[in-house]
Amino acid sequence: MLFRELGLSTSFLCETVEQLGYTEPTPIQSKAIPQVLSGKDLLAAAQTGTGKTAAFSLPIIDQMLIDPIAQDSEKKVRCLVLVPTRELAQQVYEAMVSFSKDTGLRCVAVYGGTSIKAQRDALKLGCDIVIATPGRLLDHHHCGHISLKHIEHFVLDEADRMLDMGFKPDIQRILRNLNSQRQTLLFSATFTPQIKALAYKLLNQPAEVEVAGKNSTAATVKEMLYPVDKQKKTALLAYLIGSRNWQQVLVFTKTKEGSDQLVKELKLDGIKAVSINGDKSQGARTKALADFKSGQVRALIATDVAARGLDIPQLDQVVNFDMPFKAEDYVHRIGRTGRAGRDGLAVSLMSHDQEYLLAPIERLLDRRIPQEWLAGFEPSPISESDNPGSPRPRRGRNRDKQKMKAKLKIHSGRGKKKS
């Protein structure tokens, strides 16, 4: 299928995407673009990396261009895209700017961590499309820098992550200020009951599109899980990066401290690494991402929240240094690779203390993740009594438990038998 066959009425939009190197639409684009063009609300199940940004941007731009209001002399914000993170806001902004090149449409991105004044000035100049994170958008709205009354197209991108990050009250506040005569598109990687409830409230008889199974991972991603002792994880990661000559790997840790620690440890192994987490300033995060993209550093270490929405083209490897606490995060994390049909590899390093996190992930995926032991990194055996159930206790604690059991045995041997 070609972009020209999707019903876009402004043919130069097709030329623009061709210039961007998009030879054919991705599955989400083929399915969503005709629906959005029809003016319907849309509920879309699509992960990052599937081409979802163009799936909503192109038909919205097309509709804005053919609508006579576009000729209006005074610029009003007609499209609002709400995203959970600063990085995603910047990426969607860049995509929107490149798609709307030479159309006269103006895009502005507003997100926290950068000067509110510069954003205010950009809004005051007048714009058609605003890409925003919820908190900063409300700040601007509160100060009267932006009116939401003329929004015709409202996109809630990565809605599942929005809810995870606690943005529900902000979203509700924003919704109260929107025009009810609008088209609403909701994109989410996973469909939890909370997302379904939000979609039910927000959307009016939506068309539904889905790429890959809900809660599923891209078919082009090869997954492998290595059971390994906790203290050998860094060595195993360094070994994988070195022996397999990985040039760009995104590594997930469960904490900010863990991400900084891992950077130090990898550096000792001669691997250039940088972390991106919520403690870093916007400037540091942007620089870290730029260094990673340009190949100056080989490993980008991130927490789930920080990594959300990072657009790193041609990412071949993702590593779960720590297993994710939430099963849905497994899907999000490995969605960073195998993008737009490319092959990708997702590796998970699982120490005994994180084994209990595997079952919920496999339940969500509805399949087993392949496992193998890597020579030299085989996990130490643990005895039956080390595994009394889920969650698996730490081995240190088990040793204490064993000692306690031994003591009790001696004690009960000497004492009275319990009746």
The site for ligand AMP (CB under 6 A) is made up of: 22, 25-26, 29, 48-54, 311, 313, 339-340
Both tokens assigned to 402:
């064993």
Residue with tokens 């130069």: 12
Closer to ligand AMP by Cβ: residue 313 or 396: 313
- Measured from the CB of residue 162, what is the shortest distance to ligand AMP in angstroms? 16
3-state secondary structure of 343: coil
Q: In the complex, what is the shortest distance from the CB of residue 198 to ligand AMP, in angstroms, rounded to a whole number?
A: 21
Give min distance, CB of 56 to ligand AMP, in A. 9
CB-wise, 6 or 323, nearer to ligand AMP? 6
Angle between helices 256-268 and 233-243 (to 10 degrees): 60
Q: Which helix (H) or strand (E) holds 320?
A: strand 317-320
Q: Alpha helices of 369-418 — where are they, by DSSP H?
A: 395-414
- Do residues 298 and 37 lie in contact, with contact meaning Cβ atoms separated by under 8 Å? no
Please say whether the beta carbons of 22 and 54 come within 8 A: yes
Beta-bridged to residue 319, according to DSSP, are 251, 347
Cβ–Cβ < 8 Å for 216, 332: no
- The CA-based diameter of the chain, rounded to the nearest angstrom, is 95
Residue 315 is given by DSSP the state: -
Nearer to ligand AMP, 80 or 263 (CB): 80
If the CB atoms of residues 113 and 341 are measured against ligand AMP, the closer one turns out to be 341
Query: Shortest approach of ligand AMP to residue 53 CB, angstroms?
Result: 3
Other CB atoms within a 10 A radius of the CB of residue 417 amount to 6
- Return the number of the residue (53 or 303) whose C-beta is nearest ligand AMP: 53
Least distance to ligand AMP, CB of residue 221, Å: 14
70 burial class (0-12, 13-18, 19+ CB within 10 angstroms)? middle
Task: Please identify, using beta-carbon distances, which residue of 50 and 216 lies nearer to ligand AMP.
Answer: 50
Nearer Cβ to ligand AMP, position 236 or 318? Answer: 318
Report, in Å, the least distance between residue 310 CB and ligand AMP: 9
Neighbours of 224 (CB within 10 A): 14
Element (H, E) at 45: strand 42-45
CB of 324 to ligand AMP, least distance (A): 20
Q: C-beta of 10: minimal distance to ligand AMP in Å?
A: 17
- SS3 (DSSP) at 308: coil
Query: 296-322 burial by CB neighbour count: b if 16+ within 10 A, else e?
Result: ebbbbbbbbbbbbbbbbeebbbbbbbb
Write down how long the chain is.
419
Q: How far is the CB of 402 from ligand AMP (least distance, A)?
A: 50
Nearer to ligand AMP, 25 or 59 (CB): 25
Query: For ligand AMP, which is the closer residue by CB, 14 or 65?
Result: 14
